[in-house]
Structure 1
């Protein structure tokens, strides 16, 4: 601070903005020399201690937080954080464990189409496109009673066959396929269903899915059946991100021994039809919930989820007439807590 010396008096005077404050201090020398007095009042000292108490500060913060409106509070996360990238080895282990769990739930998983021989199976599988197995099973007894062999169906009147197949939907296209299929079997394979993939896929109306159903269930040759249920579930389980059936078949086949492919297909399809539905999966009643990355997409409340279970032919699960008590309790609720490893 700049000062000006008064030559007559011999004292320093302040200049600038602090002139008044400085002059006041100098004008009262006694006040400047007087030491500051400390507060000795016990009541005031106790109040000061109470004010600085950490416990009281914490309590005050909690009270203020409780008074905040609900909309102002920080939202609580309702979903688990996204898992880290899964290694291929971890994926293989998880996928195989899911299959083992499903094998216990659906020990008698099988193709749900009624058939007595390979010819009936291939025809029924062609008819099952865009409809339910139940509808096909209601239709094929009449069809096979009238046309029991490929030779019979190859020479059938299309209009008569159309009328029989009408309940299956797309009955004109399906009539053309099964009659053409029967003719190809008679002309190229002596009236017998071939047991090779390359021969089956050349038949009218037969793709890889139908071919693997026939190979796995009529000839005992392993194959993966990639139907709509299979596609939906393997993507939910993060076994693959592919959408093309052939790519799904390749990706999933790499996770399992070839000997397990046929039964794997049955397990997955059974589960997709009974629990892991397309629009509203019954997550709260799912036996593989702890292993499923998509848990929470459907109903998670066990009681509400149990009402979503679909009981198809053979009961639930598999061909059991009653659910196993190790899975559901007497009230139809999962006996094992969700999230618990089984």
Structure 2
């Protein structure tokens, strides 16, 4: 009689969660995967993503490159990123990236993974996780906001920077330390990992239609080249996406002294251009043109978490923004989720056996 398949629950249907699901499907044929998404469907907020060679290698190894190029355009369409010191009336180009980068819309990138989870995974929507129980000798039990429950052998939290999985994990770690008589400051440091903190930075994002930029600045570098405009505690990163139909713009303003505080107000809201234009006054015309064309950007508050001593506890692990091992200053957060998730999945595949039902997740990852 064959052993029953290992059941894996993934909380969160964003890029991190779905890339992990695809990687696991590629690595194993003896798992059952359930994806629990808080929203009514798979959707990805935001605008553009830049894909560097390592991530393209990962997608190629999965056989996903044709779908990628369908949305983003062929490899020859994209070029190396240029770097400019731009916080002065006449900027200075000082270098370029060593490799070409590929621009794609976040929603299109997510579709590539969604297409490969329709078979092999069961997706559940409007499932917001509240808590879980990881008791010895029993399956991990999941409790959702709608009053339902589910069970699994392994739980993976890919539920964003506000992660309920991380919050529950570190609450339990803190309780265990407190019962063991560990010092109060050590216990508190575990509790500090539960909630996100403000990284002290705000990102303003908007897509500019190619024809709009061409009309305002016909030979603008960003029409064909990814460009990184840099200044003190500020930068503007831009690159074409969707086969060049749009120019993705992300302007970041850092307040380093605010790191670790709590941002009061909405984390994502559409704003007028006034504040943004003032922040980038007297920059190079190539940069200020883009700033003024960002007439109604979305203001994203960049949040992170305290240093995490572990990403796994018992039969539970976290990844992507739930773990948030880096802030996204180089617009590489989603790609880090893909690369790290895939690499560790394949490194661990020989360990993912029947014993995982009772083993520590840290031994598997």
Higher relative contact order (CA 8 A, sep 6+): 2
> What is the TM-score of this pair, normalised by structure 1?
0.22
TM-score (normalised: structure 2): 0.21
Q: When you count strand as a share of all residues, which structure comes out higher?
A: 2
Give 1 or 2: higher helix fraction.
1
